[in-house]
Homo-oligomer: A and B are copies of this chain.
Amino acid sequence: MELSKRQEQIIEIVKTGGPITGEHIAEKLQLTRATLRPDLAILTMSGFLEARPRVGYYYSGKSKNKILSDQLRQYIVKDYMSPPVIVKEDMSIYDAICTIFLEDTGTLFITNDNNDFIGVCSRKDLLRASMIGEDIHTMPVGVNMSRMPNLTFLEEHELVIYAADQMIEKEIDSIPIVRKKENNKYQVVGRISKTTIAKLFVSLFKE
């Protein structure tokens, strides 16, 4: 949304002198109240200013980016997550690497025989194991993973933007999305990755 020069001036006046009536804004700009009416309507309806009867206009604290951020708050993990790639803890590292290629994923989520979520194994974890010269055909992936409870995970109702924030903060490429089970363990039901974020970013633009 492009603001006109006059609209930017009005925001500035209200920011520094608000709450202020429409008449006083008009005086400061040496314009009539009628001339300003469309501008004030635009600025209040688009959320830059708020108006209160008998008080006047005041600055809502919303910048253009605030309005954008309101839009970003709409995206819920559940609607954007992709299927998780899950393997058992006793799978060999060699087979885990093959799974990474076959499923074209960056991260494996590891479960025990009870299907409880117990760990995460990334491409970096696998690269480290194979570089060290471990016997990748016999060593299980369960000894070469990041382990619960030291993992970042989210539930389906959370915001995609929060998932993105966690990936940046924790320096990880994807986040498992879980549901709590009756035994107080978690079941993995999805994943949000940096690819998810890049796709959403592009779709905002293309739509």
Residues of A within 8 A of B (CB): 1-4, 37-39, 41-42, 45-47, 63-69, 71-73, 94, 97-98, 100-101, 104, 106, 123-124, 126-128, 130-131, 136, 161, 164-165, 167-168, 171, 173, 194-195, 197-202, 204-207
A130–B201 CA distance with the chains assembled, in angstroms:
34
Question: Do residues B71 and A100 form an inter-chain contact, with CB atoms below 8 A?
Answer: no
This chain: copies in complex: 2
Instruction: Name A's interface SS.
Output: helix
- Once A127-B97, A204-B69 are accepted as A-B contacts, the answer to whether A45 and B164 lie under 8 Å apart by CB is no
* A48 to B: closest C-beta gap in Å: 10
A127's partner among B37, B100, B164 (CB-CB below 8 A) is B100
